[in-house]
Structure 1
Amino acid sequence: MRVLVTGGAGFIGAHTCRALAAMPEVGNVTVLDDLSSGSLANLDGVEADIVTGSILDRDLLTDLIAGVTHVIHLAARPSVPRSLADPLASHAVNATGTLHLLEACRASRPHVILASSSSVYGDRPEPRKHEDLPARPLSPYGAGKLAAEAYALAYAHSYGLPVLPFRFFNVYGPLQTAGHAYAAVIPAFVSAALRGEPVPLHGDGGQARDFTYVRSVTEVLTDAAARQVTSAKPVNLAFGTRVSLRHLMDLLAEIVGRVVEPVSLPPRRGDIRESQASSRLLRELFPDVRPVSLEDGLRTTVAWFEKGRVPGVDAEVGMPV
């Protein structure tokens, strides 16, 4: 296996590259990242060829993809609020960039795994979001991700490209950054709690999420690549848990050993009240996966923040994540 990971210097990408590099069947890992949100420090100690560049560079994509058997496409312009601030830039990377990548794959037809998002569902009333629900994205970010997965499935049908689109739900863990306007909820909460500050709570805290520890995600991604799993429709990559932000605060307080208080902020535009996955299709395709519990994953994440955020190291056990 020769694998190209786009966005490989980012949070999920770096964990994925580390896992791939440890697999005996993987002969080479190549990272493509423009470093707009990732960091080369995340790849310290990982055996990979690192190319600094953009998925909007069509010639570069063509050259890189010609030599690989697998593509794991994680490059994106993340964040719903960021897409609301600049929808054209969000679309350019998340939709057009994905189309450029798929077109570059058309000739050699590598196995393509790509990351979509639970944001494509929008704020539907169904308690568990399953893949047959009509999509109703509420943000440019969600719309761009929906376009990306639709293009992937269209290329599978039109050109025989083997594809597997995943819809990620609130992935968290070591390497995920805090301290910026678009930080995800868990690193924002953990960072504030460890500083003894109130955690930033948008809305009333009753919003529910299906948090997925990053190691669970990388186990699925690497298994999908090794077995060349494909799907005729997107697959939720989450395990059906429902955790309110208020409950998350309580669990975090127990782990850090102090009271965690919120600072109330207005609800975010484009925010979704309920985001919980149906994991039926995922478990059919990956029956052996055993997800990390929220308590265990959160403890490891807190420990990583406490120990100075050493790139690529699981702070709880001192082993590569």
Structure 2
Amino acid sequence: MSVLITGGLGHVGSWVAYLLAKQGKKVIICDMAANHFERMGLNYLEEVRDQLILESVDMLDYHSVFEVLLRHRDELEGVIHSVSVIAGPYFQEHPFKHLSINAMGTLNVYETCRILGIQKVVNMSSGAVYGDAQGPQHEDTPYKATDLYGASKISGELYGLQYSDTYGMDIRNARLFFVYGPGKRPSHMHKVYQGLFGPLEGLDNIQAPNGSEQSLDWTHVYDTASGIIKLFEAEQVTHRNFNISSGVPVDHLKIVEEVASVVGKKTNVKLGPGPFVVRGSPLDISRARKELGFEPRFTDIREGIEDYYKWLQAAQT
């Protein structure tokens, strides 16, 4: 049997693909970047290349989505949907495009799976569905959108809940939070991420407009991917929504200090006043611990930063 991952060359999706392939599963990756895989520098996926099938698919092109899922339907355990435009200052610069990818792209996956009889889907959602509700945020915390990104994630969850109720599908939501770690170069990210982690890649003189007055539970990508797989592989769950994060809030200025300590020199980083995005923190991960056996490995941000630094150093050689 195999697992199909939409956005399987993205930061989180690629690690989900890697861990599943290491289990010996065949992984079908649907990603617009599939034709450029060899130039992406995802060395961990190259390690399991024989287990991967790459399909270049735009999630907004319903016909292409349908054709690919139809071709692989008979071998699929299910689908892990990870295509998403992440939260950031650029999201609101092109709202229709980004909302379409997050909301309509998700709906295209659900509808295709409904027609083809693919029952199990794990949707990568976000702690953004809680908005600025005070933490710890439990899965029963009411929906609250404080930006367009959060609204798009709420819509994706609601589509999934209704498809499950109406058509008997098994759609589960993994509510992720702020992810860092191997597979993503800080130089390819927004300014606040560069300010936090950029010196690990050798970036200097980073001036971010905000982010200094915030504490969030940043989660190492390995832990994020591991939690998603546990949710996917659970035979039965008593809930549909699960928080997947480190569960440990860390002040942004502490991350800057820890990064400087790891690289062994003073970093010229300045985070401006205020939060990066309007979010509460941390996520309460007790449900995932109890029902899925999820236990994040990198709860100490220092250990996660050291692991990230090793990957970035190796990737530059």
Same fold flag (TM > 0.5): yes
> Corresponding residue for 2:92?
84
Give the 3 Å change call, closer, same or farther, for CA 303–225 of structure 1 in structure 2: same
> Corresponding residue for 1:9?
9
Deviation at residue 305 of structure 1 after TM alignment: 1.6
Give the 3 Å change call, closer, same or farther, for CA 288–209 of structure 1 in structure 2: closer
Q: Which moved more, 1:244-253 or 1:94-103?
A: 244-253
Give the 3 Å change call, closer, same or farther, for CA 18–264 of structure 1 in structure 2: closer
Is it true that 1:190 corresponds to 2:197 in the alignment? yes
Q: Which moved more, 1:103-112 or 1:166-175?
A: 103-112
Give the 3 Å change call, closer, same or farther, for CA 90–160 of structure 1 in structure 2: same
Is the contact made by 2:185 and 2:312 (CA closer than 8 Å) also made in structure 1?
Answer: no
Q: Which moved more, 1:157-166 or 1:105-114?
A: 105-114
Give the 3 Å change call, closer, same or farther, for CA 168–64 of structure 1 in structure 2: same
Give the 3 Å change call, closer, same or farther, for CA 155–232 of structure 1 in structure 2: farther
Distance in structure 2 (CA, Å) of the matches to 1:73 and 1:184: 26
Is the contact made by 2:4 and 2:27 (CA closer than 8 Å) also made in structure 1?
Answer: yes
> Corresponding residue for 2:226?
219
Distance in structure 2 (CA, Å) of the matches to 1:274 and 1:12: 22
| Structure in which a larger fraction of residues adopt helix | 2
> Corresponding residue for 2:46?
44
Q: CA RMSD in A?
A: 2.4
Instruction: Determine which of 154, 161, 164 is the counterpart of 2:172.
Output: 164
Distance in structure 2 (CA, Å) of the matches to 1:239 and 1:300: 15
Is it true that 1:284 corresponds to 2:290 in the alignment? yes
| 1:167-225, Cα deviation, whole Å (9 max, x unpaired) | 1111111111322463662x553323553623444436120111111111222222333
Alignment of 1:1-321 (within 5 A): 1-24=1-24, 26=25, 28-35=26-33, 41=40, 42=42, 43-45=45-47, 46=49, 47-66=51-70, 67=73, 68-107=76-115, 108-124=117-133, 126-180=134-188, 182=190, 185=193, 188-192=195-199, 194-195=201-202, 197-203=204-210, 205-230=212-237, 232-265=239-272, 267=274, 271-272=277-278, 274-287=280-293, 289-293=295-299, 294-309=301-316
Is the contact made by 2:129 and 2:143 (CA closer than 8 Å) also made in structure 1?
Answer: yes
Is the contact made by 1:192 and 1:198 (CA closer than 8 Å) also made in structure 2?
Answer: no
**Structure 1, unaligned runs of 5 or more:** 311-321
Give the 3 Å change call, closer, same or farther, for CA 39–210 of structure 1 in structure 2: farther
Is the contact made by 1:32 and 1:52 (CA closer than 8 Å) also made in structure 2?
Answer: yes
Q: Say which SS state the counterpart of residue 312 (structure 2) adopts.
A: helix
Deviation at residue 307 of structure 1 after TM alignment: 2.4
Distance in structure 2 (CA, Å) of the matches to 1:231 and 1:56: 32
Deviation at residue 238 of structure 1 after TM alignment: 1.2
Deviation at residue 137 of structure 1 after TM alignment: 1.5
Q: Which runs of 4+ in 1 moved over 4 A?
A: none
Aligned AA (2:283): A
* Equivalenced residues, count: 304
Q: Say which SS state the counterpart of residue 132 (structure 1) adopts.
A: coil
| 1:92-135, Cα deviation, whole Å (9 max, x unpaired) | 110011001000011313311111111221112x2311111122
**Identical pairs, percent:** 24
